Structure formats: structure tokens, C-alpha cells
Chain A
Amino acid sequence: MDSRDSILSKLKKHQRVNNVLPPLVVPPEEPLPLAEKFTSILTSIGGSAVNVKHWNEIAAHLTSKIGVSERLINLIPELDSLTLQAYGKDPHLLENVKMAVIRGHFGVAENGAVWITSEQMGDRALPFICEQLALVISEKDIVATMYDAYERIGTQSYELGTFIAGPSKTADIEQSLVLGAHGPKSMTVFLLASA
């Protein structure tokens, strides 16, 4: 008998029927406007949120943050004043990316996270290897809690999905918070006003 069978046969022996799955916990309604809550939480965990009315405001904001010779990869067609840079198949070549601009699906007010999936990332390494991460979501695409987040994700069939909440960070040295542990040193979320 191989390990799979021996493990499963033991588990079968210990199978029980006592405990049924409980209902999910529906959180109480969030009193604050969700964009306001999202901004305040994201700021408290080292990220920043910027309210914008038009795409061109985003482009202007970003170009002011990055030198002309620095590498920027923009994956959002609407931001046409920023060059849509090509990248090859090897993720190692993304190491010098100063800034990545990526569209997110939605934000979560209770923790400042943005949900993004692999088809938005270009290369999956990009959001984790770039030095500054800029994400764009619609202001109306903010849910209150993780309960709502999974209601929204439902049974969608992504290949890789991630909640990103703020810049990469560590407090392993005497609990001193340092931003930029391995990945992005900053995370900016643009909240695009609803048309």
C-alpha cells in the first residue's frame, strides 16, 4: 500500500459526521463611505490612495514620480500617454522595473487590499518585483470586507489571484516597520471617479 492509500485509509477510519458547515458570517454594514474607509486603512498600512477624475490625471501623477530614463511598464491601454512597454518571456528581465501600472479588479475597504489576477499582471512576477506599484480601480469597485470580496469573486476561474495590501514590508528586526522588504517600496492606488 503506498502512502496515499495508507493515509486515506486511516482518515476514512476516523471520518465522522458530527459537524456540519456553518453559515458564513455577514458583517454589519460599514458606516463610512467605502472609498473613505479604504483610503484611511491603506494609508495606515503604508500605501496611498489618490482620487482622480480622468485617466490623464493618473498619467500626470505617475510621470512626476519617475525619471525619464527609468523603466516603467504600463499595462493599461487607457493610459495611452504612458508607453505600453513590451516585455519578454523571462521574468528575470523585469528586475530593473522602476514602476508597474496595473489595473485591479476591486479594493477591500476593511484592509486596503486590491484584488488582481494573472491576466492583468502581464508577467506574474511584475507586481512583486517592481520598485513602485501603481494600481487603478474604479472608486465604485470597493467592497466593505473580505466576506464581500469572496461574494464578488464567486467561482471565477483565475489562474493566479492575489490581494495586495500596501508595499512589501517587514518588522522582523525588533518590530521596526520597514517598507520595501523584497518587492515594491510603495503602492499607490488610483481611485477613478465613476463616470
Chain B
Amino acid sequence: MNETEAKTSNRDHANRAEVFNRDESRVNWHDETLWFIRSKRDKAVHKLQEWELLREAASKIKLNVLDNLYVYLQEFERHAAANGVTIHWAADANEHNRIVHRIIKDAGINQIVKSKSMLTEECHLNEYLHSQGIEVTDTDLGERIVQLASEAPSHIVLPCIHWKKEEIGELFHTHLGTPKGNSDPQFLTAAARTHLRQHFMSSRLAITGVNFAVAETGEIVVCTNEGNADLGVQLADVHIACMGIEKIIPKRKHLGIFLRLLTRSATGQPITTYSTHFRKARPGQQMHIVLVDNGRSDRLGSDDFRNALKCIRCGACMNTCPVYRRSGGHSYHYAIAGPIGSILAPGLDMKQYADLPFASTLCGSCTHVCPVKIDIHDQLYKWRQVLVKDGHVATGKKAGIGIMDVVLSHPRIYRFAGKIGRWMMNNFPVAVNNKLNPWYKQREMPAAPRESFHDWYKKRKKN
């Protein structure tokens, strides 16, 4: 880790967002790009009269899954084993990484291809395998781009949404030898295709994620637009699929609900190009599935936060979030950014991710678009309460909350404070319009009204 990385790793969301916000035109571009995707989602959703029924059904199925994971996981294991698949159980990220490494080592392989899997990001599998001398090539184009740049994805569906094509052109010039200055997406994608095809052809082991795992049949479903998961698996001797234990759905026919929701929510597409159902390995191939807990079973014990495990990783909550759009995915310093990441991360480590539930305006837009109806903004609010109570919040913020508590619960103090505030803003605007006030950053302060609503209302009553 170099010096700047060491510095940024101590920073919280607000600090990182501040860095991201220094380039205003870039922030606007990022904001508009994501809003464009949110708008595509709306268009796709409005075409289905039954949309709300689908959300409700998906939510109920996932609630049923969470209630009965004990049963469904064993059912899945039994069926997958009958299909010839080897099932592994990993209590945490370390165990997951060790299991994957052992399979790779046993096969005598040192270079592998991997399609998108947020779970392996969560477990930092790439870093682990790299430290063991294994060369991992991410084959999703966006993931390959951030991998070449030694970065983490900034979005779960659109890993390099924060990159401009000119920068990708430069990156490819350095790493893939494309002509300097060429930033045409068509050209760059073709260059990546040629580059990645070599890796597909030479890798004997492929890792994929899992979108859905069907308890009834033991099959897993993997969705991609690029076809990179399929190409990787079909050219390999060994397939390892890594999944969080919450990816289970009870029956195959439930896919008819989830596949209708997933991509419409994600990008506004009616379906991904490939939705592949892997039930049995190809002849002569080994297939492994690693079931990973990593804090999930503990979370099931929490009434307030267990529903976050319903998530199907569509990214809709990020695309719509006014804070995500204007602060960028890396500000969240967790594998999963945005509103959903902000309620998942503190469950893993309250201290490290104590800042994330505060990276929200609590506007509720995330909850509104969530295809499985997770009460995301309520959970953000509940996390704030837990974090303050358990002492994971900076002293300044805690003191501020304490003061607000006094002010808001005493009407007289509240009215007096309001009067002082309005007077200060009107007579000494510099008292609030300065760098010491965090609310002044990247914002113009509004003109303060002459009187409060309370005063106005009292006067009006008299008239």
C-alpha cells in the first residue's frame, strides 16, 4: 500500500466524497449517467402492469427463504450433490478464499478466469490468490478495466461507471498496447475481446458468481450480458461457483419472477443476454459450489436488519441515490457501494463502516425502487441509532446530535435558536458561509426567512 492509499484508507465517506466533488463537471457527468440508467429502469418498469405484484411476490419469496434457510440450503446441497457437484461450506471470507485456493492448487493450475461475483469482492479473493501466486483475470469488461487500474469496482453492475473513455483508452494503451489517443468504445471493446479471448483459451479453471440457486433442483443461474461466465466455464476443466447462502430460492418457477425483476431494475433491459442454468458439469469437468456465510447467519438473528439479505444485487438503489450519484462508489470503501452497501457493511464491521449509514439523505428513493422491497432507508436510520448508542460515531457528530436532541425537545429553546440562526444568516452570513461549516461545502446557503413559520402563523391567527 502506498502513502496516498494509506491515507485514504483512514478516510470516511464524507472525506472521500469531498475529494470526488473537487471536479464539479465530472460529478455532474457521473450523476447524469446514473440518472440516465435510473430513467431506463423506469421506462422498462412502467411497461409491466404487474410490476408491483412482482415486487411483492419476490419480497415474500425472499422472506420465506430467510425464515427457512436451514431447510433450503440442505435441500439445495442434496440436489446439487446428486447432480455431481461438490459442495463446500465456508464460515467466513478467509475460509472461502482457502477453499478456492485449495481447489485451484489440487488441479495444478496457476492462472484462472473469473466472471463477476460480488461475493469474491466481499472476500477479497483476488488479493488472496495473488498472494498465493495465482494469476486471476477478471473477464467482465468493466471489471477488467478496474483490475488493470488496480482499483475495486465502484458499482456492482457497472464496475467502471466512474471511468471516462479517454482514460480507458490511455489504460489500454499502457496495458494492451492499443494506439495512443484512441478512445472509441467499439475499438476498445474489440481490443479487450482479443486480449481476454487469449485468457479464456488458456485458463483451465473458471470462477463465477451465482445470481440464484434453486433448492428444488440444485441448479445455479448466472446472468451476464457479455457471455464471459459461459465462455469461461465451457472452456475450463474446473468450474467454481461462489455464492452467499442467501442466494437460494425455493423453486425453479420462482425464477420466472426474479428474472423479470432483475435486469429491468438494474439497467432497464428486459433480460440479460445470457441467463444460464448450470445443473450438471460438462462431461469430464469438475463443478464446485462454495456456500459462504461471512456474517449472514448472525444477521438473520437481527429483526431490524435481517431483511437486507433479500438483496438480489441489481444496483437500482445506487442508480437512484442522490448521495451515491454525487459521491461515487469508492467513497463507500466497501465492496458494495450505495444504500444497500451502507446497510450491509456495518453488519460485518460496525467500527470500520460506522460512517456509511450517515451517507444518505434518508429520502427513501432506494426503498422505492428496490425490486425485493428492502426497507433500505429505514435500516439506514436504525443503523444510525445503533451506531450512536454503541459509541461508533465521531465525537463532533455525537455532540451535534446531543445538542439537536435538547433543541428539538424544548420548544422554547428551539424558537430561540431559530431566531438567533436567522439573525446570524441575515446579518453575518460569513458565520455560516465559511469552510468550517460542512453544510457550506459544494452548496450555496439559502437566504434565511425574516420570520419563522411559528411567528407567521401566530400573526395570521391574530388577523
Interface residues of A (CB under 8 A from B): 2-4, 6-8, 10-25, 27-28, 41, 45, 91-92, 95, 108, 110-113, 118, 123-125, 128-129, 145-147, 149-151, 153, 155, 158-176, 178, 180-184
Contacts and interface: CB of A to CB of B under 8 A. Distances in A.
Nearest to B282: A124
Interface of B: 33, 36-37, 48-50, 53-54, 56-57, 60-61, 63-64, 66-71, 73-74, 89-91, 95, 139-142, 145, 158-160, 163-165, 168, 185-186, 188-190, 193, 196-197, 200-201, 225-228, 230-231, 234-235, 245, 250, 252-257, 259-260, 267, 269-280, 282, 291, 293, 297-298, 300-301, 306
Given A11-B73, A12-B70, A178 B189 contact: yes
A167 B272 CA distance: 10
Nearest to B283: A89
Nearest to A128: B230
Nearest to B68: A15
A128 B141 contact: no
A174 B80 CA distance: 39
A11 B190 CA distance: 47
Counting chain A CB atoms within 10 Å of each CB, the highest count among B33, B63, B201, B270 belongs to: B270
B262 to A, nearest CB: 10
A14 B64 contact: no
Contacts of B277: 158, 160-162
Nearest to B299: A14
A53 to B, nearest CB: 28
Contact of B270 (A6, A110, A162): A110
B185 A92 contact: no
B298 A10 contact: yes
B186 A178 contact: yes
A166 B109 CA distance: 34
B275 A113 contact: yes
Given A11-B300, A19-B63, A91 B235 contact: yes
Contact of B141 (A6, A19, A123, A181): A181
A162 B201 contact: no
A104 to B, nearest CB: 14
Given A129-B231, A173-B188, A176-B185, A10 B255 contact: no
- The DSSP consensus for interface residues of chain A is loop
18 contacts: A3-B95, A10-B300, A15-B70, A20-B60, A25-B257, A125-B231, A146-B256, A146-B271, A155-B252, A165-B272, A168-B227, A170-B142, A170-B225, A176-B165, A181-B228, A182-B193, A182-B231, A184-B227
Contacts of B234: 91, 123-125, 128-129
A173 B140 CA distance: 12
B32 to A, nearest CB: 10
Given A2-B89, A22-B60, A125 B297 contact: no
4 nearest A-B residue pairs (beta carbon): A111-B270, A172-B142, A183-B227, A125-B234
B274 A173 contact: no
B165 A174 contact: yes
B140 A159 contact: no
Contacts of A108: 271
B33 to A, nearest CB: 6
Contacts of B293: 3, 7, 10
